[in-house]
Each structure stands twice: as C-alpha cells, then as structure tokens.
Structure 1
Amino acid sequence: MFKNILRNLEKKKLKSKRFESLFETPPPNEYVSLDCETTGLNPKKDEILSIGAVLIKDNKILMRQTFNIFVKPSKLINPESIKIHHLRQTDLENALEPEIAIFQLLNFIGSRPIVGYYIEFDIAMISKYTKKIIGVKLPNEAIEVSGIYYDHRKKIANNGFLDLKFDTIMKYLNIPFLGKHDALNDAIMTAMMFLKLKNLAQSK
C-alpha cells in the first residue's frame, strides 16, 4: 500500500500526461532487457552514448522487437573512455538528441519490468534524463540478473566467494557470446541469462 502511495505521488510529478502509462500495471509475462553504453561510471556527470533493448514475452526473446539507438553527447568523447565503450565520435554522427532518444525509449519500454546486468547503474543514468525531461525518475521495476544468479548458486554451492562477472555467468549458463560488444548484444545476452535462470528456478 505504501509503495502504491509513493508511485501515485511520483505520477503527479509528471510534466505531461503522455507518460502516465509508465505507471500502469505491466503486461503479464513481459519484460524489457536493457543495456547502456556511457562515457563513464558516474551518473551525475557522465552521459549515455547508446541504448540497446529487447522485448521478452512468454519466455521468448522477440528479436523482431529490439531497440538500438545512439545518443548525442554534449561534448566530445574522451579518447580514454573509447577503450571501454568502443564508440568513436564518427559512430555518433547520426545520434539522436537526448530528449528524442528518451521519448523513444520510454515508448518502447512502457510499464514493463526492466531486466539487466547491474541494472541499477543503467536506470540511474536513464533517470538523470527522465527527471529533467518528464519530471520523474524511471519508475519501472528493476530485475537484476546477477542477483538471480547469486541466489541460484547459493542454493547449490558451498558458502564462499561467487564470481558475478558477466562472462562467468554466461559460461556457467552455457549461453553463446554474440561477439561484438555493444548495448544491443549485451541486452540480448542478458535476456538469455534471465530466461535460463528463470527456468532453472521454476524447475526446482
């Protein structure tokens, strides 16, 4: 009940009724797996460069319903950060203005829960933009795949250190790597992780 009160208070902060649908009950058995490439790891000062997402419905990844955009940064990319996100200035020549990119993303996500790997960071980055553009932080439920993996392994393994690296989880779940490291591929691989872990949990 208290959670609903907080959501209603947030909903009232919206600058436009156009996005009230973000607060609606999500469609059953639907999720969006999402990943962002950014200029750095500080949501307060860094910016989003690209966003990739894919729709998950009824235990299937809908490859025909993907989202993949580049976002125009406010300044030139630091050459050092290119080593991390692999995006050059030339890759962003046709990038969208942040406001347009965020509007398109919100229309794609709707009220669905968002699945991701360390998704708290991605949501913090996106929320920096949504707070400014529509008046509220991203209100969607967040589902962390590394947390699901941790819970799964803790049930079957002895107490001790658990490696939660992306590649480690992929290898454990026997999920194929898609090659090129970018936001959309990472979102698709994360969706595969989520479904495999979800099915493992249901089979217990």
Structure 2
Amino acid sequence: MLPRAIKRLLHQATISDQSYRFMFKRAPADEVVAIDCETTGLKVRTDDIVAIAAIKIHGNRILTSECFEAVAHPDSDMRAEAIKIHRLRRSDVEQAPIVWRVIPGFLHFIGARPLVGYYVDFDIAMLNKYILPLVGIELPNKRIEVSRLYYDRKYSDAPPGAAIDLSFSAIQRDLKIPALTQHDAFNDALMTAMMFVELRDLKERGVRIARQRTSPVFNPTGA
C-alpha cells in the first residue's frame, strides 16, 4: 500500500475533473470537519450511503451553524436491520436525491480540511466509492480517528493484557459527552466533534484518562 503522502501527490497529478483541484489547497488554519455517514449496511462494495453530515470545527469551537447535512436515495435495498439502526425508511429517502448529486456539495463544504470521525476509514471508504468515479481520485484529506486519540489518552501506557474498550459509548462516558440519539448522521457528527475537541484539549494539557484497576488494591488499614 502506498504511503498516504505519496498517494496524495499521485492523486493531485491524476485528478480528472480540474474543478476539484481546491481539494489540494491549503486548509484554513486550525479547521477540521467532523463527518458521519449512515449506510444500508457495512459492506462497502454492495451497500450505499443514505445520509451524510459534516460539521466544521475551528479551534475549540464547534460551528453547528456551518454544517452539511443530506439524505440520499440509495440504489441498494433498505434492509430491516439497517432501518432499525438509522431509522430511515424507504419512504423517508424516496424523494431524496441520489448520492451522486449529494457528493459535489459535500466536497465543496469540506474542501481540504482534515476529516475527523469515529472509525472514519469506513465512512471515507463509502464516500470514495462515489468520489473516485466522479472526480477520478479518492479523498486526499488527512484523517483523524477519535478512537485513536482516545486510546492514546487512556490505554497507551496500559500493561499487556489490559482490557481495552474503544466503543463509542465508552468514549462518550469517559469524556462526559451529552448522549444524543445515535445513528443520526448529524448527531453522530456532533458528538464526534465534541469528542475531538475534548481529547485535543486533554492532550494539550498533558492529562490522561483514568483507567479502572483490574485487581483490588491492598489497604493495610482494612478500609
């Protein structure tokens, strides 16, 4: 697999639609975008995006007034298992534009900003399925994974064999992030943005997240 920096240079040289060269410009200083996609399933090859949300973050400010939110009409079937998760029914997306019409607006919104997400590689893989045929390249944006930031603050010094929980709910609980309705693209992007801002602040202050001890601590007082 090519290193991402080399891949970025290759994409910059081979982009087929020159109107998207803005994707390689310098991103605004200290700005990132939290993203989330809701899909018909977890198979990139056969499943489709049904909702996309993106929220800009400037410094430690989450700019909810500067967001992108869209529902898309999928080509694949809306299976019952997925509907139970994201609660979007076939009737909810029937009149929505196909995802190919949604992608250009999303690309112009995110520009060259780094993309923040929870298991962001999956979201980007789903997006690239549409972006590659449209633009001729995959997303060149830097990726920031909140579960990695969380791991660094809580588990990077954990002893071998320590139990590690990188679930969304564990991060939410440790960081005291408000529990919004999950599997709604906007809510998930917003909670992810809050996680990112909090984790970056902890890193800047050199603060770690406490772990529960895995065994009782001997107390000679008997307390």
TM-score, normalised by the number of residues in structure 1: 0.93
1:173 partnered with 2:170: no
State the 1:39 CA deviation: 0.6
What pairs up with 1:131-146 in 2 under 5 angstroms?
Answer: 131-146=132-147
| Structure 1, 164-173 or 75-84: larger mean CA deviation | 75-84
SS at match of 1:194: helix
Distance in 1, Cα, partners of 2:47 & 2:111 = 25
SS at match of 1:87: coil
**What's the secondary structure of 2:181's corresponding residue?**
coil
Using a 3 Å threshold, how does the CA distance of structure 1 residues 46 and 33 change in structure 2: closer, same or farther? same
> What one-letter code is carried by the residue in structure 1 that aligns with 2:185?
A
- Are the aligned partners of 2:47 and 2:76 in contact in 1 as well (CA < 8 Å)? no
Q: Distance in 1 between matches of 2:20 and 2:198?
A: 32
Alignment map for 1:152-171 (pairs within 5 Å): 152-155=153-156, 158-159=159-160, 160-171=162-173
- Alignment partner of 1:190 out of 189, 192, 211: 192
- 1:93 Cα offset (Å): 2.6
Deviating more after overlay: 22-31 vs 189-198: 22-31
Distance 1:168 1:5, change over 3 A: closer
Contact 2:40 2:77 in 1 (8 A): no
* 2:148 paired with 1:147: yes
User: Are 2:115 and 1:114 aligned?
Assistant: yes
Q: Distance in 2 between matches of 1:164 and 1:176?
A: 17
Q: Is contact 2:120–2:145 with CA below 8 Å preserved after alignment?
A: yes
Distance 2:159 2:200 in 1: 21
Q: Larger C-alpha radius of gyration, 1 or 2?
A: 2
Q: Which residue of 1 aligns with 2:17?
A: 16
Q: What is the CA-CA distance between 1:180 and the residue it aligns to?
A: 5.5
2 CA distance for matches of 1:7 and 1:155?
29
User: What runs of 5+ residues in structure 1 fail to find an aligned partner?
Assistant: none
Distance 1:158 1:176 in 2: 30
Matched, 1:128 2:93: no
Q: Number of residue pairs matched?
A: 203
Aligned-pair distance for 1:85? 2.1
For the aligned residue pairs, the C-alpha RMSD in angstroms reads 1.6
Q: Flag structure 2 segments of 5+ consecutive residues without an equivalent.
A: 207-223
Contact 2:40 2:76 in 1 (8 A): no
Identity of paired residues, percent?
42
CA pair 167-111 structure 1, distance change in 2 beyond 3 A: same
Question: What is residue 56 of structure 1 aligned with on the other side?
Answer: 57
Q: Report the Cα offset of residue 81 of structure 1.
A: 2.1
Q: Distance in 1 between matches of 2:66 and 2:145?
A: 21
CA distance in 1, matches of 2:183, 2:75: 23
Point out the more displaced range, 135-144 or 72-81.
Answer: 72-81
Residues 5, 75 of structure 1: alpha-carbon distance in 2 compared, 3 angstrom cutoff:
closer
CA contact (8 A) 2:116 2:143 kept: yes
**Aligned match of 2:84:** 83
Q: What amino acid maps onto 1:46 in structure 2?
A: D
